[in-house]
Amino acid sequence: MRCIICKQASSSSRSVEHIIPESLGNTDHVLPTGVVCDRCNNYIARKIEKPLLDSLYFRERRFKANLPNKKKRIPALDGIHMQPLTHIQLFKNFGDPAIGIGASPNVDESRWVHSLVKQKSGTLIFPMSKMPDDYIVSRFIAKVGLEVLAFRLLNVPGGLDEITEKPEIDELRQYIRRGSPGNVWPYSFRPIYAPDFVIQSGLKAYKVLHEFDILITTKNEFYIVIAIFGNEYALNLGGREIGGYKRWLRTNHGKSPLYTGKNA
C-alpha cells in the first residue's frame, strides 16, 4: 500500500486520516490507515490544519457551534476589558451551554476584580474575526479534495492505486506536502448560507457544519467543492486556475454544486 500524498510505502502506518478535522465536528468521513501515511498525517495536522483551526475566524465559529477539540475542550475567545486593561476570555465547558468570562490564564486578575467591584459599567472588546491567509485555506481545501477523491474510490478495486499513480495530480500532491508560499493555488470563496443554518429533516433538525462533493465540468476538470460554516470553497484539483468553476456558476445561475443538478 502507498500513501496518496507522498506515494511512499504506507502499509505499516497506524493513523486514520480525518478528511475534515475532528475539531470541526467530523466523525464520519475518515480514511483507513495507510491511505495517508503517518508522516503525511502528522505533517498535515501541524502545518495545514492547526493554523486553520487556530485562526481567529475558526476559533470563533467553533466557540459558537460548541465544537470541542479531541480533548473535549472548546476554544476560548480572547478579548480585553478596557477599564483595567486586562486580557480576558470567554469560555464554555463541553456539554454546558453557559458562557463564562474570566481573566486570561497567566494574567494577574487583581486589578480586573477590583474594577468589577468598583465600577458600575465597563467595556469588553473582542477582535473581529478575520479569515486565515489564502495560503493556509487553499492548502487545506487541496488536501480535503485529494482525500475526498480517495474516499469515493475506497471500495473500487484498484481505485486508490489509480489516484496514487495519476501524474495529473502530482502538482496538487506537491502543494499539499511541500507547499509553495507566495504562489497560492487559487480557489473560489463565497458565503452561501448563514453559519448556523439548520436543516429540517423529518422530525430532526440538525446544524450543517460541513458538506463536500466533487464537481466534474464539461471539460472534465475535477473541482472539490466544500461548504464549512456556510462558506463555499472550490478548488481545481488538476491545475492552478478556476475559470471552469466560474463558467459553471454562470451557467447554473450561481447555485452551489452541493445542492443542484451537478455533473448532469
What 3-state class would DSSP assign to 240?
coil
Task: Find all residues with CB under 8 Å of 175, minimum gap 6, and list them.
Answer: 139, 142, 185
Q: How far is the CB of 260 from Zn ion (least distance, A)?
A: 35
Q: How far is the CB of 25 from Zn ion (least distance, A)?
A: 25
Sites for Zn ion among residues 5-34 (CB under 5 A)? 5-6
C-alpha span between 156 and 74 (Å, rounded): 38
Q: Identify the residue among 3, 48, 163, 215 touching Zn ion (CB under 5 A).
A: 3
Q: Rule CB under 5 A: is residue 4 a binding residue for Zn ion?
A: no
Q: Which is nearer to Zn ion, 74 or 160 (CB)?
A: 160
Q: Rule CB under 5 A: is residue 169 a binding residue for Zn ion?
A: no
Q: Which is nearer to Zn ion, 30 or 107 (CB)?
A: 30
Residues contacting Zn ion: total by CB under 5 A: 5
Closest CA to 29 of 18, 37, 42: 18
What 3-state class would DSSP assign to 11?
coil
| C-alpha cell at position 137 | 485555506
C-alpha span between 139 and 132 (Å, rounded): 12
Q: Which is nearer to Zn ion, 12 or 251 (CB)?
A: 12
What string of DSSP letters covers 19-76? SS-GGGT--S-EEPTTSS-HHHHHHIIIIIIHHHHHSHHHHHHHHHTT---TTSBPPP
Q: Rule CB under 5 A: is residue 48 a binding residue for Zn ion?
A: no
Q: How far is the CB of 151 from Zn ion (least distance, A)?
A: 16
C-alpha span between 216 and 235 (Å, rounded): 12
Sites for Zn ion among residues 222-251 (CB under 5 A)? none
Query: Among the candidate windows 1-9, 148-156, 181-189, 241-249, which touches Zn ion by CB under 5 A?
Result: 1-9
Q: Which is nearer to Zn ion, 13 or 231 (CB)?
A: 13
Q: Rule CB under 5 A: is residue 146 a binding residue for Zn ion?
A: no
Closest CA to 29 of 140, 146, 160, 147: 147
Q: Rule CB under 5 A: is residue 40 a binding residue for Zn ion?
A: yes
Q: Rule CB under 5 A: is residue 37 a binding residue for Zn ion?
A: yes
Q: Rule CB under 5 A: is residue 149 a binding residue for Zn ion?
A: no
Taking each helix axis as running N to C, give the angle between helix 134-152 and helix 170-177, from 0 to 180 degrees, rounded to the nearest 10.
130
Query: Among the candidate windows 19-27, 39-47, 129-137, 187-195, which touches Zn ion by CB under 5 A?
Result: 39-47
Interacting residues toward Zn ion by CB under 5 A: 3, 5-6, 37, 40
